[in-house]
Every structure is written in structure tokens, then in C-alpha cells.
Structure 1
Amino acid sequence: MLVGIMKLDETDRALLALLSANARISTVALSKKLGLSRTTVQSRIERLERRGIIQGYTVTLAPDADLSIRAHVMIAASPHAYTVVENQLRQQRGVLELYTVSGKMDMIALIAAPNMEMLNTIIDSIGALDGVQRTQSSIILSTRIRQDTGYTEHPSFTP
């Protein structure tokens, strides 16, 4: 949760760039690269976490490492049922991500399963949820581009 607006200085940006490149880098290594004390680096990391700038640490698998079958399930929900549908999808096995979108559909769920039979079961169960009017699914055949989702600076964006 973001607590207020936080201006990032150059040191924060450098710290975030290093953590985005390698979230497992030690505080000692960060302090050497940034020319700061270990205590200062740890304090900055904790402040960025408290403020919601750093929301977690994760492992990113190579595209070939994920052998599961994935699909996008586009969902049209009944008016005023978005929260109900979202809560049900939180409990649904195989749902990795959920996005709200504009257009003819209201949400897109990214789902994964170890085989087609299980993927089909997940898709069918999403269609049967209370508040879901209809679904449309697309199986992901391959990943052609996967961008680093770490912090990048855009010339027109100033945090």
C-alpha cells in the first residue's frame, strides 16, 4: 500500500535499479556499489518497502522453464458483480493474475495448468462462477517478447 506520495532521489533510483537487476544482492554489495554505509542502505530499503515502492521480491523464470499451459480468459461480469467475481477468482486454483480492462469484457485472468484437461476444467469453472455472464479464452502458444518489469525511467515520467 502506497502511503502518500514519495519523491525518489537519485540514490533511491540507483538502489531500485540494482535491486531490479538482482533482488538477491546483499546489503553489503549494495552499499559498496552505492558508496553508502550498510545501515543507510538497509534503512532506505525498509523505507521503500514501508511506502509501497518495493512491494516484494520474486524469482523470474526463463520462458522455457515454465512448462505449464497458460491461457488468457476474458470475462464479462454482471453489473455490480465485479467484487464477487474477483473474490471467487482469488480462490480459484490456476488463476495467476487478474486484470480489469476496458472494452467488451470486464476482466482478463491469466491462468495456468499442467495439462489441457486441467486447463479446460479451470476455464469451465470460471464460466460457472456467480456473476460471470460469459468468457472467451485464448491459449498462449509462445512468448515472443518478455520485458524486464523492473524500474525503468521514461523521459516524460518523473516519480
Structure 2
Amino acid sequence: MEEKLDGYDRKILAELTRNARIPIAELARSVGLSKTPIAHRIRRMEEMGLITGYRAILSPLKLGLTHVTYVEVSLADTREQALQKFNEAIRAVPEVEECYMIAGGCDYLVKVRSRDMADFRRIMAEKISVLPHIHNTSSHVSMEAVVEQTYTTL
């Protein structure tokens, strides 16, 4: 995929990651091409699967979701069917911001956003601890976000 992107594509992507609502005319001026080639390049990158969508990025802090906890999850069963059941179930928990299957001392690392410790305790008791095949969890409360960003560099 990398070889299919030229300097104009990279400029377009950089601008779109800063402001996905930028008008095509303004994007064209910024990149140094006319509107038609810009529109074609965007459509091509969408068709390539490089641009997967556009969305509003909400501020968790403004929504009152100031508490971040990372939960290490170990499963009792790690056969493929058990992993798939867990994956499907964890995707249905709206408070889970991120979930990664990892190698190491546990099977998954889950990022949970909540209002406060009491809210997190409720989420753990009612939504996470009851997920299929969970053997053990260990929670790590974030004290401060030092770096927190969306992917914007190429």
C-alpha cells in the first residue's frame, strides 16, 4: 500500500486527519491540486481501504468519563471457540474503549472508561466479570494521560 501513496496523497491524509470536514475546495488549495483530482484521490484511498470512514471524535472528559482503567483479563479456556465467544461479548460492552489480545502474563488488555471508581466497580461486576471464560482480572487505574491521541502521522 505504501508505494501507491505519493506526496499529494500524504498531504490529503494529513489534512483529513486534522479536519475531516474540510471543504474540497479548501483541501485542494492546501494540497496544491484542483478539486477534481482531490476528489478522485480521496475516493481511491477509500476504495483501497486506507480511509475507512469519517466520524466525530468526542471528548470523554466533557462527557464526564474521566476515569480510565486498564484491565488485564486471563481466560480459563483459550481455544479458538472460547476466544471468539469472549471477543464477541467484550465488543458489546459500551464502556470498553479498546481491547487487545496480547502475549504475556494475561490474554487481553482492556481499556475501560467510566465516570468514577464506583461506576467502574459496577461495570466490572455487571458487564466484564460475567463475560464468558474469564478466569482472572487485574485492574490498573490511570492517574494521568501523558499521551493520548488518534493516529495522525504518516
TM-score, length basis structure 2 = 0.84
Q: Which residue of 1 aligns with 2:78?
A: 79
Distance 2:60 2:88 in 1: 29
Distance 2:147 2:132 in 1: 35
Give the number of equivalent residue pairs: 149
CA-based RMSD: 2.2
Q: Name which of structure 1's ranges 57-66 and 23-32 shifts more when overlaid on structure 2.
A: 57-66
Q: 3-state SS of the aligned residue for 1:76?
A: strand
Taking only the aligned residue pairs, the percentage that are identical comes to 28
Q: Name which of structure 1's ranges 104-113 and 58-67 shifts more when overlaid on structure 2.
A: 58-67
How many Å apart are 1:55 and its aligned residue? Answer: 1.9
Distance 2:132 2:149 in 1: 35
Distance 1:149 1:63 in 2: 17
TM-score, length basis structure 1 = 0.81
Q: Which residue of 1 aligns with 2:140?
A: 138
Q: 1:89 to 1:148 in 2, by over 3 A?
A: closer
| Match among 16, 19, 37 for residue 16 of structure 2 | 19
Which 5+ residue runs of structure 2 have no aligned equivalent?
Answer: none
Q: Name which of structure 1's ranges 57-66 and 22-31 shifts more when overlaid on structure 2.
A: 57-66
Which 5+ residue runs of structure 1 have no aligned equivalent?
Answer: 153-159
Alpha-carbon displacement from aligned partner over 1:44-74 (angstroms, at most 9, x marks no partner): 1111112111122344456854531221111
Letter in 2 for 1:139: V
Q: 1:94 to 1:115 in 2, by over 3 A?
A: same
Q: 3-state SS of the aligned residue for 1:29?
A: helix
Letter in 2 for 1:142: E
Residues 87-102 of structure 1: pairs in structure 2 closer than 5 A: 87-102=88-103
The yes-or-no answer on 1:46 pairing with 2:43 is yes
Q: 3-state SS of the aligned residue for 1:136?
A: strand
Distance 1:55 1:136 in 2: 33
Letter in 2 for 1:94: E
Q: 1:26 to 1:39 in 2, by over 3 A?
A: same
Q: Name which of structure 1's ranges 57-66 and 67-76 shifts more when overlaid on structure 2.
A: 57-66
Q: Which residue of 1 aligns with 2:27?
A: 30
